[in-house]
Structure 1
């Protein structure tokens, strides 16, 4: 007879697939670049309309055109934060690697005195 797991697996705890993560990052990137294009178009319209405080509006549009691509790339390259299980697995692997490297480290640290 099969032994039942102590706790059932919850689908809500499952990580999103890589393709879903990529798709959402692509959507965010394209939407931010569209906002940059809107800043460019609004800046051109403002120049032709000549509203009050034109320099202020143009500075805001220029800041949007400069800041948005930088932020879009950062956000598009970002991944979701690691879960507790992923952090624990990484810590365990790091500890295992450190323990395995410890004898080799001791060999390198051993000092041989020429007078012995």
Structure 2
């Protein structure tokens, strides 16, 4: 039987660097806090202008000002998920059960018998 070929690790399979992850999380945090500031400014404008349906708009903006910062902190402290698939261990276990065939002696291994007679 053939040995399994060595599979090199490709650079495209490498995970994102720590600095890139931090930069991405910082940008997401700043964008979400920008949404919070926008909710605050829009709420102040609506109150100053005494718009109709103010009783509907202010609670919606207040929820935005309270929920968005909480989500921003959670997402800023969270790292990206691991690249491995959840079922990778199951597939690896199957390969390991098939692997003992490689450890058999030459006589014990299954092999083709080719007859030279027609």
TM-score in same-fold range (> 0.5):
yes
**Structure 2 length-normalised TM:** 0.64
**Structure 1 length-normalised TM:** 0.66
Unaligned runs of 5+ in 2: 90-118
The Cα of 1:20 is off from its aligned counterpart by 0.3
More helix per residue: 1 or 2? 1
How far apart, in 1, do the equivalents of 2:54 and 2:73 lie? 29
Q: How does 1:10-89 map onto structure 2 within 5 Å?
A: 10-84=10-84
How far apart, in 2, do the equivalents of 1:83 and 1:24 lie? 17
After superposition, give the CA deviation of every residue in 1:57-99 in whole Å (9 maximum; x if it has no partner): 00111000000110000000111112328x86xxxxxxxxxxx
The Cα of 1:8 is off from its aligned counterpart by 3.1
DSSP-derived class of the 1:81 partner: coil
Unaligned runs of 5+ in 1: 89-116
Instruction: State the superposition RMSD in angstroms.
Output: 1.8
How far apart, in 2, do the equivalents of 1:74 and 1:33 lie? 13
